[in-house]
């Protein structure tokens, strides 16, 4: 860890041990994550700006399944997420788009009584 290179915006790079003191120790626990009364390891995933969260969620799910298959003692539980909400909003928007298109064709036909005037 001490040899980890740290790149600066000026183009220079330093080793981590040149900037700080690096020691391998055990720190006191300051937080605890519990699930159903059992101590667990919790982590959060956030998308980078411009990234597609549905693609990231699918890749994360596949990666977690591979990890669980590799080691049966591991278990993963989703606590909270916004991906399903995003997917539901997309599906709802697409349904409304199709309904609106169909209604526009029907209204044009209803008033003009001519299929050639409809945008099909």
Q: Where are the domains of the chain?
A: 82-120
H helix runs in the chain, sequence order: 16-19, 53-70, 83-112
- pLDDT for 117 equals 67
pLDDT at 119 over 70: no
Dist CA 92 CA 82 (whole Å): 15
- pLDDT for 66 equals 94
Q: What is the pLDDT of residues 64-114, one digit of tens each?
A: 999 999 998 888 888 888 888 988 999 999 999 999 999 988 888 788 877
Read off φ and ψ for residue 111, nearest 5 degrees.
-85, -35
77: left (phi over 0), alpha (psi -120 to 50) or beta: beta
- pLDDT for 120 equals 59
- pLDDT for 112 equals 80
- The predicted model gives 25-47 an average pLDDT of 87
Q: Is the pTM of this model over 0.85?
A: no
- pLDDT for 118 equals 64
């Amino acid at each position: 860890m001490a040899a980890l290179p740290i790149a600066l915006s000026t183009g220079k790079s330093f080793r981590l041990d040149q900037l700080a003191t690096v020691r391998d120790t055990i720190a006191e626990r300051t937080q605890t994550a519990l699930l159903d009364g059992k101590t667990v390891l919790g982590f959060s995933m956030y998308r980078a700006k411009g990234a597609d969260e549905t693609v990231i969620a699918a890749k994360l799910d596949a990666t977690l399944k591979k990890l669980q298959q590799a080691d049966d003692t591991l278990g993963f539980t989703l606590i909270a997420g916004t991906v399903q909400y995003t997917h539901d909003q997309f599906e709802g928007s697409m349904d409304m788009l199709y309904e609106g298109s169909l209604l526009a064709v029907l209204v044009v036909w209803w008033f003009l009584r001519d299929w050639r005037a409809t945008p099909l």
